Structure 1
Amino acid sequence: MLKRLNIYFKEMYPIVPRLLLGIIIFLEIHFILLLNYGVKTFSIGIGEVVGSFTIFSFLFTLRIADDLKDYETDLVLFPKRALPSGRVKKKDLKIFVTILIFITCILNFAFMNNIPFFIILYIYGGLMSVWFFKKHKIQKSLPLALVTHNPVQMIMNIYIISYTCIKYDLYPFTLTSFLVALTLYFPALIWEISRKIRAPKDETEYTTYSKLFGYKKVTRFVLILTLIDVVTNFLLVYRLNRIAVLVLALNAAWITWKFISYMKDPTQYKIVNKVERYTYVLETTMVLVVAIYLLVGYI
């Protein structure tokens, strides 16, 4: 079983990069919130470690749940993947994810201060894994799957925000906390839609947003979401680092140009590749803002 799981880890969820991602997501939201609240005295302890692991663990659990619930579809559309190809068995993933969830629960109940939000996060994840008991409706509707599944990113952000607010006794219901909740929600939403936009000649049996609504309309919608995302990040970093605002503005101008160019000719590149590059620059900038502020203060 361990050999088969190792195949799954390598192909579907590489451990080290995804663990690093969990740490970055947790600490980015944690410190962006603190810095915008003006908190300058803080400490990193077991809570931050467990919180970062929880983000990694939860995203891992979602990955496995998706592969299990989409197994029949993947047999047809993605037969070479680890699970549908038979190189990994369903039983392997079920045993592993049960152990992973058990460890995550023990750590949270032992060390975290936001247990109700942890429970809400995993209840929502559990409902996603069973299609909210409406598989016959949701599985057939790409937009319905989006509006029911994508909010999990927001709930995950709120899990982190709740920990930070409780630890530092911060009032949670502010514009700042609302913007921080959005800071990683919009990139996830933008990517999720963009990866299902294709040029007309590249459409297959696989259902995409471009097949449903036309690539121009969907691309224009994603552009609007991206500009909203830019505004939320401007508001969060403006007081912390003016140089970062310039970087974000240039990044926004670049991705806008790419969206417009794609609407004119969708055959020149895959728009999701440009969205990923935009996201990498955005998140790297946000992380650097935190790191620079913590090291040297205002610039």
Structure 2
Amino acid sequence: MLNRLGIYFKEMYPLLPRFFLAIIYFFEVYFVLLLNVNIVAFSIGIQEWIGVLTIFIFLMVLRIADDFKDYEHDKRLFPERPLPAGKVYKKDLVILLVFIIGLSFCLNLFFMNNFGWYLFLFVYGTLMSLWFFQKDKIQNSLTLALITHNPVMMVLNIYVISFVCYKYDLPLLSWTTFLLAFTMYFPSLIWEIARKIRAPKDETEYVTYSKLFGYEKASRFVRNIILLDIVTNIILLWQISKIGVAVLVINVIWIVVQFQQFIDNPDRFKLIDRVERYTYITEVTMVVSVIVHLLQLRLNL
């Protein structure tokens, strides 16, 4: 079983990169929130690392749940994936799910201060895996699937934000937490839509937003979300790094140009490639800006 799971992880959920992503995700929320409310005296202990592990496990659970949900679909369109190809068995993934969910449940119950939000996160994830008991309606509607499934990333943001707020006695509902919840949510929304926008010549039987609404309208919609996203990023980064803000502005100007080029000629490049590049630059800028600011604070102490 371990060998089969090793194959699954390698192809569908590479462990080290995903754990590193969980670290970045958790501490980006953590420090952006603290620095925006002028808290520079912080302590990192076992709770923070349980939070990181919870993100890592939850994203793994979503990956496995998607493989179960899309099994028949993948057998037809993606037969080379581990589960439809028989490289890993369903019982292997069930055993893994029981173990990792049980582990995260116990750790959050005994060590974390926001167990209620943990439960809400995993209840939402469970409902997603069950198509909210409306499989026929949601599975056959790309828009309904987006509306019901993508907000799980917002719930994940709130899980981290709630932990920080409870630990440092901050209000859970504030302008800063509102902006932070959305600025960490927008990238997943942008990526989810952009990856399903294709040039007319690249369309297949796979349902995409460009097929449903046209590539021009779908592209403009994502571009507008990006513009809204960059506003939230700039507001949160303003008092942390003015250089970081400048990088964000240059980056968003670049991606707007890319969108226009794609709209003018969709055969020039794949839109998702440019969107991913924009997202990486934005997130790296946020993370590096926070790290540099923390180092400056440490040197000034």
The answer, yes or no, to whether TM exceeds 0.5 is yes
2:296 match: 296
1:94 corresponds in structure 2 to 94
Structure 2 residue aligned with 1:112: 112
State the Cα deviation string for residues 188-237 of structure 1 (Å, max 9, x = none).
00000000001001100100000000000000000000000000000000
TM-superposed deviation, 1:297: 3.6
CA offset at residue 98 of structure 1?
1.1
SS at match of 1:198: coil
Q: For residue 228 of structure 2, what is the aligned residue in structure 1? A: 228
Amino acid at match of 2:255: I
User: d(CA) in 1 for partners of 2:274 and 2:244?
Assistant: 20
- 1:68-217 to structure 2, matched below 5 A, reads 68-217=68-217
Which residue of the partner structure matches residue 253 of structure 1? Answer: 253
Deviations 1:20-64 (A, max 9, x none): 101110000011000001111000011100000100100000000
Could you tell me which amino acid in structure 1 is paired with residue 88 of structure 2? V
Whether 1:38 aligns to 2:27 is no
- SS at 2:87 equivalent: coil
Q: CA–CA distance in 1 between the matches of 2:200 and 2:40? A: 52
Partners of 1:224 and 1:183 in 2: CA distance: 14
Deviations 1:241-294 (A, max 9, x none): 100010000000011000110000111111011111111101101111110111
Q: Any idea what the Cα deviations from partners look like across 1:168-207, whole Å, max 9, x if unmatched?
A: 0001211111011012200100000000001001100100
**1:297–1:242: structure 2 CA closer, same or farther, 3 Å change rule?**
farther
Partner of 1:273: 273
Runs of 4+ in 1 over 4 A off after TM superposition: none
Structure 2 portions without partners, runs of 5+: none
Cα distance in 1, alignment partners of residues 71 and 97 from structure 2: 16
Cα distance in 2 for residues equivalent to 1:97 and 1:21: 20
Partner of 1:237: 237
Query: Greater CA deviation, 80-89 or 226-235?
Result: 80-89
* Secondary structure of the structure 2 residue equivalent to 1:268: coil
**In structure 1, C-alpha distance between the alignment counterparts of 2:271 and 2:297, rounded to whole Å:** 37
Map of 2:25 onto structure 1? 25
User: Aligned pair count?
Assistant: 299
Give the secondary-structure state (helix, strand or coil) at the position aligned to 2:201: helix
Distance in structure 2 (CA, Å) of the matches to 1:266 and 1:117: 42
User: Which amino acid counterpart does residue 209 of structure 1 have in structure 2?
Assistant: Y
SS of equivalent residue, structure 2 residue 83: coil
**CA offsets 1:127-181 (integer angstroms, 9 cap, x no match):** 0000000000000000000000000000000000000000000012111110110
CA distance in 1, matches of 2:263, 2:140: 27
Q: Secondary structure at the match of 1:189?
A: helix
> Aligned equivalents of 1:251 and 1:126: distance in 2?
37
Please report how far the alpha carbon of residue 240 of structure 1 lies from its aligned counterpart in structure 2 after TM superposition. 1.1
